[in-house]
């Protein structure tokens, strides 16, 4: 028996290529849930700004994104937890990690631009964990791609089968609304940014006389033709394929106009999975187990230099988390108690007494946590599924102020533990190499080292663009490889050897020369 508290939880993330409409959609969901009253309450999670200080200023204004990191609200008897992800591609790793803590995602696609670079990368991460995906085709009020062409493109580029649950009538200036295949009614489009719900016209089927009152004969014929084709090509929704991450239901709408949102949200709470069991290295942890367990997927710094403490975001996986109870930190082998765990209901943080699987609690942390750490009631568990990915830019840290060496060391250590970027230690000389996805990450590190730790660093560009974690069944062979390739080896945060390469060609050559060594693109490969 799954506890009703678990069953009612829907924990997910809205993801998209920047500008497709993730923030707008999040905001509309919160409006429907009554969690906010006015549009504009969700701060744009953007760093289009070219300078770091602008970016840091924005982060500060957002309350260091703590308030919007998780947005919980009640809707139709369900507890909805939306996990926010950074929009900027330079912070993609943060997004990938957040995806380890959700049970499903809504992927927003811009109907004008179709599938974009970040859309493909995000889908790749969802596929690694078979995360169920719903696709929302946004901006239907604009002249975009033909719906069939767009679905073709999505299916091919994202490599997933689709099943439209609504269908658009017209597009751009001819956009009339959508026909809900799932609920069998017509939603008429009225461009309006303030209204809450769309006018819904109930119809029995496509021959319903009522449809003639709203659609011109040509539009109705077009819709009928389209739906026949849709039925023939895509069939009806198989919920199991969706929860297995093999099939994505598709909705069409316009987030800015509040159109198609209620339909999406209502269907979402019906079909999206509740928290499920999760794999730990030792065993599968069932969601209904009595004992509490959870893992840290995000660490947020307090940017106020006077208060160095951080907030660790813990996803509850089983049992019940309770305030002021001792829990076992499995990596450090010690017990910890939290007197002020935070909850994120209605976009405000408050102290929480208990939390259930699917919930995210914020724990004040004075340096105990690293990303991926597991808490239990005593059992030695380590949750899987929070890998590091290969960065694309590598720079060596050079100390600019020898009198502040200790501060620099501490700063680099803490910032990389937070997951701002990845740290690799290279020999000889314990050189520090920082790996990141984008330049903005280096700017943030430099800014924070200076403002929070009083240290100054210079980052020297290296020629690497890939990191591969290396293993071998033969321990001696691995040791030999690490020795031979010393100038290309770094140790990751857990002390595992990583092969740093300039390009794929170099990796392939090395693979050929060392057939006993296995190369892995992420840190998790069991
Ligand atoms: P994000 O980067 O994915 O979070 O995208 P935003 O939600 O910030 O939206 C990017 C831009 O697209 C903003 O200017 C929005 O006002 C606009 N936008 C969002 N939804 C729609 C829509 O349905 N139609 C149109 N025309 N514009 C939209």
Tell which atom from ligand 1 comes closest to the C-alpha of 17: 3
Q: Mean pLDDT lowest for which of 102-106, 246-250, 384-388? A: 384-388
| Ligand 1 pocket, mutate which of 14, 16, 19, 111 (most atoms under 8 A from CB) | 19
In this prediction, residues 8-14 reach a mean pLDDT of 96
pLDDT digits (tens, 9 = 90+) for 180-189: 888 888 888 8
Nearest CA to ligand 1 atom 14: 19
Contact 421, 434 (CB under 8 A): yes
Between 222 and 388, the more confident residue is 222
pTM for this one?
0.87
Q: How far is CA 133 from CA 107, 176, 495, in A?
A: 7, 26, 35
Q: What is the CA(24)–ligand 1 centre distance, in A? A: 6
Task: Pick the atom of ligand 1 nearest to 44's CA.
Answer: 8
CB-based pocket (< 6 A), ligand 1: 16, 18-24, 44, 87, 138-139, 141-142, 254-257
- Residue 262 is predicted with a pLDDT of 86
What is the 256 CA–ligand 1 centroid distance (Å)?
A: 6
Average confidence score pLDDT of the chain:
87
Q: Which residue has the higher pLDDT, 211 or 6?
A: 6
Q: What is the pLDDT of residues 297-314, one digit of tens each?
A: 988 876 555 666 788 999
Question: Distance from the CA of 372 to the center of ligand 1, in angstroms?
Answer: 33
Is residue 443 within 8 Å of residue 476, measured between CB atoms? Answer: no
By the 10 Å C-beta count (0-12 exposed, 13-18 middle, 19+ buried), 159 is classed as: exposed
Cis peptide leading into residue 428 (ω within 30°): yes
pLDDT of residue 343: 85
Residue 501, both tokens: 């390469």
C-alpha of residue 223 to centroid of ligand 1, in Å: 27
Q: Say how many Å lie between the CA of residue 11 and the centre of ligand 1.
A: 23
* Residue of the CA atom closest to atom 25 of ligand 1: 139
State the DSSP string of 242-293.
HHTTSEEEEEE-BTTTTBTHHHHHHHHHHHSPPP--EEBSSSEEPTT-SS-E
DSSP assignments along 413-482, one per residue: HHHHHTTSSEEEEETTTTEEEEEESSHHHHHHHHHHHHHHH---EEEEE-S--EEEEEE-SSHHHHHHHH
Q: How far is the CA of 254 from the centre of ligand 1 (A)?
A: 9
**Cα–Cα dist 33/21, whole Å:** 18
Helix axis angle, 147-158 to 217-234, nearest 10°: 20
Distance 221 CA to ligand 1 centre (A): 31
Work out which ligand 1 atom sits closest to the CA atom of 16: 3
Q: Whose CA is nearest to atom 10 of ligand 1?
A: 19
Residues 6+ apart with CB under 8 A from 308: 302, 366, 452
pLDDT in tens, 126-155: 998 899 999 999 999 999 999 999 999 999
* Alpha carbons 45 and 64: distance in angstroms, whole number: 11
Q: What is the dihedral of CA 514, 520, 521, 526, to 10 degrees?
A: 180
């Amino acid at each position: 028996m799954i506890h009703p508290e678990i069953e009612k939880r829907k924990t997910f993330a809205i993801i998209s290529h920047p500008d497709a409409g993730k923030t707008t959609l999040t905001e509309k969901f919160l409006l429907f849930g009554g969690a906010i009253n006015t549009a504009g309450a969700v701060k744009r999670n953007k760093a289009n700004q070219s300078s770091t200080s602008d970016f840091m200023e924005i982060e500060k204004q957002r309350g260091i994104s703590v308030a919007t990191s998780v947005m919980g609200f009640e809707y139709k008897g369900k507890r909805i937890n939306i996990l926010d992800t950074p929009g900027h591609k330079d912070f993609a790793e943060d997004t990938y990690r957040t995806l380890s803590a959700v049970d499903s995602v809504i992927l927003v696609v811009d109907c004008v631009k179709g599938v974009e670079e970040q859309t493909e990368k995000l889908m790749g991460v969802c596929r690694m964990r078979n995360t169920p995906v719903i696709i929302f085709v946004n901006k239907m009020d604009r002249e975009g791609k033909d719906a069939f062409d767009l679905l073709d493109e999505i299916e091919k580029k994202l490599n997933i089968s689709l099943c439209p649950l609504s269908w658009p009538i017209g597009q751009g200036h001819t956009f009339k609304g959508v026909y809900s295949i799932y609920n069998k009614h017509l939603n008429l489009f009225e461009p309006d940014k303030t209204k809450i719900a769309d006018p819904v016209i109930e119809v029995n089927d496509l021959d319903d006389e009522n449809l003639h009152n709203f659609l011109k004969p040509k539009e109705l014929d077009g819709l009928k033709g389209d739906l026949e084709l849709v039925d023939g090509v895509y069939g009806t929704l198989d919920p199991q394929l969706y929860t297995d991450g093999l099939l994505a239901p598709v909705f069409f709408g316009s987030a800015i106009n509040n159109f198609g949102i209620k339909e999406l949200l209502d269907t979402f709470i019906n079909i999206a999975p509740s928290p499920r069991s999760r794999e730990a290295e030792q065993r599968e942890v069932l969601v209904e187990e009595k004992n509490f367990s959870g893992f840290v997927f995000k660490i947020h710094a307090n940017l106020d230099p006077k208060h160095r403490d951080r907030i660790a975001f813990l996803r509850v996986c089983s049992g019940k988390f309770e305030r002021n109870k001792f829990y076992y930190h499995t990596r450090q082998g010690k017990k910890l108690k939290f007197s002020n765990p935070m909850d994120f209901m209605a976009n405000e943080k408050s102290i929480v007494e208990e939390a259930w699987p699917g919930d995210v609690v914020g724990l004040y942390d004075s340096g105990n946590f690293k990303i991926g750490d597991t808490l239990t009631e005593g059992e030695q568990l380590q949750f899987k599924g929070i890998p590091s990915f290969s960065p694309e830019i590598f720079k060596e840290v050079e100390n600019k102020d020898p009198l502040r060496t200790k501060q620099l060391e501490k700063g680099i250590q803490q910032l990389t533990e937070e997951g701002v970027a990845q740290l690799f230690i290279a020999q000889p000389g314990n050189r520090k190499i920082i790996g990141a996805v984008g330049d903005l990450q280096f700017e943030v590190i430099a800014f924070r080292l200076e403002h929070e730790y009083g240290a100054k660093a210079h980052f020297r560009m290296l020629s690497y663009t890939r990191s591969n974690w290396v293993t071998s069944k033969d321990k001696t062979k691995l040791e030999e490889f690490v020795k031979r390739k010393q100038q290309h080896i770094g140790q990751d945060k857990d002390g595992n050897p990583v092969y740093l390469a300039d390009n794929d060609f170099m990796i392939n050559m090395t693979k050929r020369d060392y057939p006993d060594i296995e190369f892995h693109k992420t840190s998790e490969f069991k």
